[in-house]
Structure 1
Amino acid sequence: MPVTDRYRPDPRHADLDDRFYDRVEAARFPQHTLRFRNDRAAARVGLDGLSDDEWITHFGRFEPLPDNLPQPLALRYHGHQFRSYNPDLGDGRGFLFAQVREDGAPDGRLLDLGTKGSGTTPWSRSGDGRLTLKGGVRELLATELLQALGVATSRTFSLIETGEKLWRGDEPSPTRSSVLVRLQHSHIRIGSFQRQAFLRDADALAALMDHVIGLHMPDLAAIDDRLDRTAAFVQRVAENCARTVAQWMAAGFVHGVLNTDNILVTGESFDYGPWRFLPTHDPEFTAAYFDHGGLYAYGRQPDTLMWNLTRLAETLLPLSNRDRLIPALETFPPAFSLALGEAVTRRLGVQPTTPEDDDALVLALFEAMGRTQIPFERPFFDWYGGPASEFRALERSPHAALYAGEPFARFRDLIAGRRPRDGVDLDHPYFADPEPCTLLIDEVEALWAPIASADDWSPLHAKVAAIRRMGEALGNG
């Protein structure tokens, strides 16, 4: 197998014992048609040299990668689903396939290759363990756009059509099947800790926390006192989650299913089901058709993450105490505020200043967007670079009259003194486009339609290229 010298296997999840996972076998699929391979992501882990046949061997048939996990691991966890506790969860249609070190990263950080749609496991709960092809396409699109917008997200590594007919209640059926592979920093969730707390296994809680710290937060390992180390761990997870939810808010992204089993302790965004991008700024916008009460609406996402983090802290009471854990949790709101200022100023391509001034800029922008109902992505496109783009916004944009009006007056005043961020390139051809690159639900359906009707993948590939071009323009390539 032509792995490069950049391929560095490091299957560390196996350091844990079978309290945390089950060894499983992948499904045998009737066909393997490669629909997407992410060579940009593969280059990060030394797997870009695989031929398509070799790619399918490892990411469709799941023959082990060299010196990696000899058998896939279906991870065990519990979780609150729409705030109802479910002790019957776990990887029901996915598994951890391999772990590798990132090439070129200063710390050579550990990355997981995990699956979606790879077959049944002990946690499938009467499901078929499969993923629809449309579901795979939707996740591919979500991860590509989120990466381009600078959101900490999993990457869609591979998508292979598998030749089965699936029956689903939320899609026209029978529908086509697929198996997806993700690349991300961890698969350990808040729900992973909830399971061990439910089982009253304090030793397992400590082992899992120390495992995460050793791999993803090594600076915390120097804290000798167990109570303090646990509090520091909760604080770090809170900071990780604050960063990512702030990036969602700046991107106008609604995850849709923010259950505790979908929240990684590394904070990285993953597992995209009924996601949406906002058409316009609307705090009550929901992504999931079954979220009738708007629990996971766009504007409630920060509060939801705080609620989920509180559940994490509860699980760790056997290792610490309330006097230490409550202050750790209370770091989330200010961390979120700082992260939102950073995310919005980054999306606008301007330098951050003081937290107070950044907060004021964010508030002024979102208030103006809400009052005018301007398309969500448009101000970030028209005003990218701040005053350096004032002519584009106030003269060339089709929304120039809105920008010149009273709702945007406060925003105009606050952005007037901002300098462009280092590296902002307003000469990139993307900024001469008549419209920003977007991915609203109607666009997703329009990309799926030719695949469903004529097996025509060219619009999808063109869209991925357009998204990556935007990411390059924004410095997130």
Structure 2
Amino acid sequence: MSDTTTPPAEPYTLASPLDALDWRNRAAELGTPYYTPQRPTPIADPYPVIFNADVAALLGLDAEAMQTAGYATVLSGNALPAAAAPVSHRYGGHQFGLWAGQLGDGRAITLGDIETESGQVYDIQLKGAGATPYSRFADGRAVLRSTIREFLASEALAALRIPTTRALSIVGSDMPIYRETAETAAILTRVAPSHVRFGSFEMLFYDRRFDALAPLADAVISTHHPEIAAITDPATRYRHWVAHVVECTATLVADWQAVGFCHGVLNTDNMSILGQTLDYGPFGFLDRFNPEWICNHTDAGGRYTYRQQPQVGLWNLGRFVQAVLPLLDDDPEEAVAIGQSLLDAYRETFDAAWLARMRAKLGLTDAKDTDRALIESLLQCMATDGADFTRVFRGLCAVSGASGGHEAAFVDEFVDREAARGWLAEWRTRLGDTNADDAARAARMKGVNPKYILRNYLAQQAIEQAQAGDYSALERLHDVLRRPFDEQPENADYARLPPDWARGLVLSCSA
């Protein structure tokens, strides 16, 4: 149930840096059947948990002024920027391969979108700000636990240079929220160029609202793809747009695979139309390398394992392309053929992107046909021993190109050290002329092989301290994750192997 004991949110009347932003409110202007006006439901006694100066800078916000003004009031939804026009978004989705019907923003309210001085557009969204028309029987709230996890995960991926939504702040409240047990409430301020999803178009398709597809597509294209918007022929314009969605989705999944990130719940309603990582539920970074690892304990069939993510990306694109077929050609048969040809580009794009990322991780500066076999043989060694994904690649950065030089950082990650040394011999042969400058190669490799990732047990430790009212562990972990490629000797404990109890932790979708 939603909290109805407090009055509706009022316009933010205090001096707030948010009021100085250039609010455009494109979603509110687009209106139905895409968005529904929805004001947040105020929450009792909100207080600050963490504020992200990096994201404030993206928005053109003065971080110090935001904190001085008391950001908890406005970023809880208890008060609104005067120019904001809050809405909730209507969409559907395929969940675990089955059409789930209407879903929508059940606990997210977009205050509006703003445009920065550079022309970049950002939605500013409150997640956990109360019930919406799409909450069904839920309360529209989020708990501190899941809010911290999304804050840390989105910022960790951003620092890894992987497209993602961002997190501006967390605001807490002692209001009890009931999930498996009673927890406290929290509101995450999430920022992204757009929160439109594959499921946004699927909902229209399954409603047979084919007339509504073009206005939503045009809104996305005109705001985010001006070079595509300049194409005058509508069918050609939409085909170029769909080709771009296929490409950016393929490269996003390649990014995930290259750092061992598992999304955990790759339903079509969790797939961004801009190719950004969206909706952090039961995610996880690989510890002990297992391509079949299931990080979501509700994924009984293993649909969303690490190995499956590339194929699921293609399957989800298939559902998106099906939804927008009416835009591709007036002839249904021709539209299907065009859609299939656009989808056919996915595998080649993914393979090229994945190989490029993996070659960089190995310090290779050119491409050879044998590279895939070299990469896959390393992954097989890692899987056989359950070696730590992140530490293996980081350890390889320290290995000399000369035989026998500085091998321990890599070899010691394996149980079968002879197999690891055998692979190193193949790698050294492949390095060829790059052997001459170990220092330069190591620097390149350290720039793509992180030392620090968001391990589940680290997030859990920060959560437990935060639940006790101490946010210092959260702030320190966030600071470490902002610099994942740096050595940070003072924070070396964050890069150690997880304790035995924490390896392979799985999570639920509970929020």
TM-score range, shorter chain: 0.7 to 0.9
TM normalised by structure 2 equals 0.82
Q: Could you give the per-residue CA deviations for residues 243-300 of structure 1, whole angstroms, max 9, x where no partner exists?
A: 1111111111111111110001101002101111111221211111110000111110
Q: Is the 8 A contact 1:252 1:376 kept in 2?
A: yes
Question: Among the aligned pairs, what percent are the same residue?
Answer: 30
Name the counterpart of 1:22: 36
1:96 aligns to what SS in structure 2?
A: strand
Name the counterpart of 2:66: 51
**Separation in 1 of the partners of 2:339 and 2:368?**
25
Q: Is the 8 A contact 1:246 1:340 kept in 2?
A: yes
Q: Is the 8 A contact 1:276 1:287 kept in 2?
A: yes
**Separation in 1 of the partners of 2:400 and 2:163?**
28
User: 1:425, CA displacement in angstroms?
Assistant: 8.2
Count of aligned pairs between the two proteins: 460
Equivalent AA in structure 2 for residue 306 of structure 1: L
Equivalent AA in structure 1 for residue 385 of structure 2: T
User: 1:471, CA displacement in angstroms?
Assistant: 4.7
2:388 to 363, 375, 380: 375
Q: Is the 8 A contact 1:115 1:181 kept in 2?
A: yes
2:457 to 422, 429, 442: 442
1:238 aligns with 2:246: yes
**Separation in 1 of the partners of 2:75 and 2:273?**
26
The 3 A distance-change label for structure 1 pair 40 and 327 is same
Q: Is the 8 A contact 1:227 1:324 kept in 2?
A: no
1:228 aligns to what SS in structure 2?
A: helix
Greater C-alpha Rg: 2
Name the counterpart of 2:286: 278
2:77 to 42, 61, 81: 61
Q: Is the 8 A contact 1:131 1:179 kept in 2?
A: yes
* RMSD of aligned alpha carbons: 3.1
Equivalent AA in structure 2 for residue 444 of structure 1: A
How do residues 250-265 of structure 1 correspond to structure 2 at under 5 angstroms?
A: 250-265=258-273
Name the counterpart of 1:413: 429
The 3 A distance-change label for structure 1 pair 445 and 390 is farther
1:90 aligns with 2:104: yes
2:407 to 379, 386, 394: 394
User: 1:339, CA displacement in angstroms?
Assistant: 1.6
Q: Is the 8 A contact 2:293 2:306 kept in 1?
A: yes
User: 1:340, CA displacement in angstroms?
Assistant: 1.2
**Separation in 1 of the partners of 2:45 and 2:255?**
38
2:89 to 51, 75, 86: 75
Q: Is the 8 A contact 1:8 1:45 kept in 2?
A: no
Equivalent AA in structure 1 for residue 315 of structure 2: W
Name the counterpart of 1:470: 484
**Separation in 1 of the partners of 2:313 and 2:464?**
35
User: 1:352, CA displacement in angstroms?
Assistant: 4.6
TM normalised by structure 1 equals 0.87
**Separation in 2 of the partners of 1:466 and 1:13?**
35
Equivalent AA in structure 2 for residue 156 of structure 1: A
Q: Is the 8 A contact 1:281 1:369 kept in 2?
A: yes
1:132 aligns with 2:143: yes
Q: Is the 8 A contact 1:368 1:408 kept in 2?
A: no
2:108 aligns to what SS in structure 1?
A: coil
Name the counterpart of 1:110: 121
Q: Is the 8 A contact 1:93 1:119 kept in 2?
A: yes
User: 1:312, CA displacement in angstroms?
Assistant: 0.7
User: 1:365, CA displacement in angstroms?
Assistant: 3.5
1:340 aligns with 2:354: yes
Q: Is the 8 A contact 1:157 1:180 kept in 2?
A: yes
1:150 to 158, 161, 166: 161
Q: Is the 8 A contact 2:270 2:278 kept in 1?
A: yes
Any stretches of 5+ residues in structure 2 without a counterpart?
Answer: 1-14, 329-334, 489-511
Equivalent AA in structure 2 for residue 443 of structure 1: L
